[in-house]
Amino acid sequence: MSAIALSNIILYIIIQASAVLSSDTLVLLTLPLLVLAPMALFYSYSQIAMLPPPTPEVPAKLFSFWPLLPFVFAVYIVGGLMYTIISTSWAGSGISAVYSVIPYIVLVFIAGSIADRRGRRVNAILGTGILGVGFMLYGISGGIMLPIVIHTLVVGGFAFMDTFTWTVPADLATGRRAPVFYGGVLGANVIAILIGILLGEQLGDSISEALVLTVSVAGLLLFASLAFLPKLAETLTRNIAPELSISEKITKVFQRAGLTPRELEVAGLVVTGASTEEMHEHLYISPDTLKSHLRNIYRKLGVKNRLEMTQRLLNSSFDEFS
């Protein structure tokens, strides 16, 4: 996840730098990346052999492109509108070139943490909601008020969306499916942005005249994309907790009830159906001591006798100790 976040940050910085730096300067700055890329690739392969054996995981549910691609397509048309309308309207600000990178860098790491801890789909929900709020504020303010807040919301929304768009193919693209997943998702991404840019240019040169239509189109697409959210399956894999055996579950109930080590031995024999004489012989204790242990066990478990204790264990009705 950190690699995906870092790659998005590098890409975003290069895009922003290309707008303010000369071509010669940009080439000099990007040349080190050509050296670092093969070094990073070699290092990653060298680390694979050192990885521990994989733990059992819940297989990611493979969902169709039908809910995923329309969602990505609709949201990134809004991205094209952002590049032509909102980013252009704030381009005259002296701090825009620097500040426009900051919210993306910060939020993409937050989005990565959310994706790993809470699931991938959360980023899609957050990204869509933040984008909607950003475009609504842009429409209400006429593109003049709160420019930093609006830009932060819109760019930040795409930090969450970019993280979602990259992590889902990374989760699902294994083996022969890799070209289909990456090609389909990223192809929809690029085509949608291009359509959004062309649509933004067709809305008119005057921002004020096209403002209402821009916000309406963006809002319509964002709300349309929400229809596909319930169909997006979660792709975050989680470790499977090992299933406890019946004896382990019974032992766990006894331990949580506060039985002493000696009482655990007595309770274990009771569960096996051992008679009083067999427990005397096995534990080397007197009848009075055995009766005392049994009374304590029944009291701690909240039962009256051996029969009730056995029945409740078989029926798994000791919920207060589970």
d(CA 106, CA 115): 15
d(CA 8, CA 18): 15
Position with higher pLDDT, 157 vs 232: 157
Q: Is residue 287 part of a domain?
A: yes
Q: Is residue 300 part of a domain?
A: yes
Is 150 in the same domain as 106?
yes
pLDDT tens sequence across 179-200: 677 777 888 888 888 888 888 7
Domain count, the chain: 2
Is 157 in the same domain as 251?
no
Is 43 in the same domain as 79?
yes
Contact 8, 165 (CB under 8 A): no
Is 141 in the same domain as 218?
yes
Report the pLDDT value the prediction gives residue 240, as an integer from 0 to 100. 47
Task: Enter the DSSP assignment of 21.
Answer: S
Contact 200, 34 (CB under 8 A): no
Q: Is residue 236 part of a domain?
A: no
Is 146 in the same domain as 294?
no
d(CA 123, CA 118): 9
Contact 192, 77 (CB under 8 A): yes
Nearest Cα to Cα of residue 151 among 75, 217, 99: 99
**Average pLDDT of the residues in 15-30:** 69
d(CA 161, CA 192): 14
The number of C-alpha atoms within 13 Å of 56 and in the hemisphere containing its C-beta is 4
Position with higher pLDDT, 272 vs 65: 272
Q: Is residue 74 part of a domain?
A: yes
pLDDT tens sequence across 54-93: 444 444 444 455 677 888 888 888 888 777 776 666 555 5
Show the domain range for 286.
246-321
Q: Is residue 105 part of a domain?
A: yes
Nearest Cα to Cα of residue 237 among 157, 174, 159, 177: 174
Q: Is 108 exposed, middle or buried (0-12, 13-18, 19+ CB in 10 A)?
A: buried
Contact 119, 145 (CB under 8 A): no
Determine what percent of the chain is predicted with pLDDT higher than 70: 56
d(CA 314, CA 309): 9
Q: Is residue 258 part of a domain?
A: yes
CATH number at residue 291: 1.10.10.10
Report the pLDDT value the prediction gives residue 242, as an integer from 0 to 100. 53
Tokens of 53: 């054996």
Vertex 98: Cα angle to 94 and 100 (nearest 5): 100
Helix and strand counts by DSSP (H, E) for the chain = 15, 0
Position with higher pLDDT, 241 vs 4: 4
> How high does pLDDT run on average in the chain?
71
**Average pLDDT of the residues in 289-304:** 85
CATH number at residue 51: 1.20.1250.20
Q: Is residue 60 part of a domain?
A: yes
d(CA 141, CA 121): 31
Is 271 in the same domain as 157?
no
